[in-house]
Amino acid sequence: MLLEVEGLCVNYGHIEAIRDISFGVPEGTVTTLIGANGAGKTTTLKTVSGLRKVRAGTVRFDGKDITSLAPYERVKLGINQSPEGRRCFVGMTVRENLDMGAFVRKDRKTQAYRDDLDRVLTLFPRLQERINQPAGTLSGGEQQMVAMGRALMSRPRLLLLDEPSMGLAPKLIQQIFSIVTEINEQGTTVLLVEQNAAQALKRSDEAHILETGAIVRSGTGAELAGDEAVKAAYLGGDV
């Protein structure tokens, strides 16, 4: 198991945001967390990446306890996050944003670094066209590509994706999810948080449903997509 979350509890002040959740992310898979707004999905990702402190429980990565590690130390180990809302550096160019994703790397002048940049630009050809534009001048879909590409530049073993389809047109949503599948097929394990449950479950090996900070249902993506109660609650009655 690449990522193991065990008995995790996280508070915002006196508010319990996550209540005793446990799940794993097998290496090589796409694992998805779905649920309504406020269910604890983003908090879970932030806790895995080290941006939220743990009240109780353990986070292990590749067998190592990382519960107390700083975020940048987790990036060095191979965890990186594409955050909700993209969070691009709007005054910097696309190339500079991508370079920022590799801040922990010491091989920026090597062929390996150029190969990784080429990989990102192959995944997102639009970014090659916009490579010298400030990120703030890009469309929402293009900024999402920058955010995902920036995270990939650290060579993560585990990529955390928080709402990659938020605010995008249907055609772009399809494109982004196809790229998520391609990233996974190239060897990167993905932990995905997504409101578009139908698209997410289609591409998920495993999935967990969160409600008010607790996991209430788990299964394969296909199992949850075919469950009548899940359809009614999250898929509009159909996939």
DSSP letters for 34-71: E-STTSSHHHHHHHHHTSS--SEEEEEETTEE-TT--H
For the stretch 98-155, pLDDT in tens is 999 988 888 877 898 899 999 999 999 999 999 999 999 999 889 999 999 999 999 9
| Residue 195, pLDDT above cutoff 80 | yes
> Which superfamily, per CATH, for 1-78+156-166+179-239?
P-loop containing nucleotide triphosphate hydrolases (3.40.50.300)
- DSSP letter assigned to residue 93: B
pLDDT of residue 189: 98
pTM over 0.95: no
b/e string for 12-43 if b means 16 or more Cβ within 10 A?
A: eeeebbbbebebebeeebbbbbbbeeebbbbb
CB within 8 Å of 151: residues ≥ 6 apart: 80, 81, 82, 101, 159, 160
pLDDT of residue 238: 41
For the stretch 210-238, pLDDT in tens is 999 999 999 999 999 999 989 888 876 44
Q: What is the largest CA-CA distance in the chain?
A: 53
pLDDT of residue 4: 98
- With beta carbons less than 8 A apart as the criterion, state whether 138 and 93 touch: no
Average pLDDT over residues 148-172: 92
- With beta carbons less than 8 A apart as the criterion, state whether 164 and 176 touch: yes
pLDDT of residue 83: 87
CATH 3.40.50.300 location in the chain? 1-78+156-166+179-239
For the stretch 15-47, pLDDT in tens is 999 999 999 999 999 999 999 888 999 999 999
b/e string for 150-185 if b means 16 or more Cβ within 10 A?
A: bbbbbbbbbbbbbbbbeebeeebbebbbebbeebbe
Which ranges in the chain belong to alpha helices (H)?
41-49, 71-77, 94-100, 111-123, 125-129, 140-152, 170-185, 197-202, 221-225, 228-234
